[in-house]
Amino acid sequence: MTCRLRLNCIRQWAEQLQKFLFSLSHHLNEADPSQMKFNRFPPTFLLVGSNEILYDDTENFYKTIKPLQANTTMKEYKNQNHVWLLTNIHSDASKAAVREIKEFIEKTAKP
């Protein structure tokens, strides 16, 4: 394929993507998790790093589900970023998180 043909393909793809994204923009409220309403929720353990880019979203989600499920915990891990638990599984924070996840599951699991 020549450079010119590739460039045309890229342009066509970009135009299609732009049309698709524009069509989705009319449905953003439908995809907004903050617009979801729950009547009940399962026991939940939220792990969040203090440097997490989605920290506020996690905190808002916690505030939403806590009144519905008393067995909900949000644990903040100092100086941790987005997906910190996966990026360094041998860190002290990751090891502590795994222990705390295990404890939460053992505490909330029904016999």
Q: What is the mean pLDDT of residues 30-45?
A: 77
User: Domain of 41?
Assistant: 33-108
Question: What's the domain count of the chain?
Answer: 2
27 and 38: one domain?
Answer: no
Instruction: Say whether pTM exceeds 0.85.
Output: no
- DSSP per residue, the chain: --HHHHHHHHHHHHHHHHHHHHHHHTTHHHH-GGG---S----EEEEEETT-TTHHHHHHHHHHHTTT-SSEEEEEETT--TTHHHH-TTSHHHHHHHHHHHHHHHHH---
pLDDT at residue 91 in the model? 92
The pLDDT-based confidence of 14 (bands split at 50, 70, 90) is: confident
47 and 11: one domain?
Answer: no
Q: Read off the pLDDT of residues 61-77 as tens digits, 9 standing for 90 and up.
A: 999 899 999 999 999 99
92 and 57: one domain?
Answer: yes
56 and 69: one domain?
Answer: yes
pLDDT at residue 40 in the model? 85
pLDDT at residue 85 in the model? 87
40 and 5: one domain?
Answer: no
89 and 104: one domain?
Answer: yes
38 and 5: one domain?
Answer: no
